[in-house]
């Protein structure tokens, strides 16, 4: 993953992480950014800036209107197709924003995009679908666009690799898959 993808698909955790670290501008300038509708409309409402610990309101719909980000809305059929590949209890670990992200990845398999997430089960799910090459952590995305910033553990290469290994094992053993 040494080359920079053209598109980043961000879940709520990655959106929060980028804003909290003061890294939203370099990220949204360097990449085309797509955010699931659930995150835009319901999940990403505010963040706490790491340096000041102050709460800042987020207006994701305004970013969509301004053309800063693209919003992806999965259809019920898209969501059923994505989540239908997993068994309970694993499917219960995937929240609505990540479910939409999985639907996006499945619907856009030929696209040069990466899912950026800090959610372990979402990382595992992407690997279980055989798409581990479509993952990137926030630390890696920032590094590829020249923004060197120390990030919390859940946004690091180490966290990503840990959950990719778990997801890879689940793919081989079919644990959690239909």
Within a domain: 178: no
| Span 156-175, pLDDT tens digits | 999 999 999 999 999 999 99
pTM over 0.75? The answer is yes
Strand ordering across the sheet containing 70-72: 70-72, 32-36, 7-10, 113-116, 135-136
Q: Report the 10 Å Cβ neighbour count for 171.
A: 17
CATH of the domain at 53: 3.40.50.1010
pLDDT, position 11: 92
Could you give the C-alpha distances from 172 to 31, 83, 167, in angstroms and in order? 33, 18, 9
Number of domains in the chain: 1
| pLDDT tens-digit profile, the chain (178 residues) | 457 899 999 999 999 999 988 899 999 999 999 999 999 998 888 888 778 888 989 999 999 999 999 999 999 999 999 999 999 999 999 999 999 999 999 999 989 999 999 999 999 999 999 999 999 999 999 999 888 878 999 999 999 999 999 999 999 999 999 9
Q: Which domain holds residue 44?
A: 7-173
Burial of 88 (0-12, 13-18, 19+ CB in 10 A): exposed
Does a structural domain hold residue 1?
no
Assigned domain for 2 exists: no
pLDDT at 2: 58
Residues in a beta bridge with 112: none
Q: Does some domain include residue 158?
A: yes
3-state secondary structure of 7: strand
Cα separation values, 30 from 21, 33, 117, Å: 16, 9, 18
pLDDT of residue 104: 97
Residue pair 112/3 in contact by the 8 Å Cβ criterion: no
Tell whether 139 is covered by a domain.
Answer: yes
């Amino acid at each position: 993953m040494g080359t920079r993808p053209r598109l980043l698909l961000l879940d709520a955790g990655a959106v929060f992480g980028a804003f909290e670290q003061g890294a939203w501008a370099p990220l949204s300038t360097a990449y085309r950014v797509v955010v699931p509708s659930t995150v835009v409309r319901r999940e990403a409402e505010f963040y706490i800036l790491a340096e000041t610990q102050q709460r800042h309101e987020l207006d994701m719909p305004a970013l969509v209107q301004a053309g800063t980000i693209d919003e992806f809305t999965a259809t019920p059929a898209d969501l059923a197709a994505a989540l239908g590949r997993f068994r309970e209890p694993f499917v219960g670990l995937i929240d609505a924003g990540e479910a939409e992200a999985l639907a996006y990845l499945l619907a856009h398999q030929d696209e040069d995009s990466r899912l950026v997430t800090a959610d372990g089960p979402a990382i595992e799910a992407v690997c279980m679908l055989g798409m581990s090459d479509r993952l990137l952590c926030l630390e890696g995305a920032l590094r590829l666009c020249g923004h060197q910033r120390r990030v919390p553990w859940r946004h690091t290469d180490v966290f990503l690799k840990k959950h990719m290994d778990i997801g890879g094992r689940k793919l081989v053993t079919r644990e959690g898959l239909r």
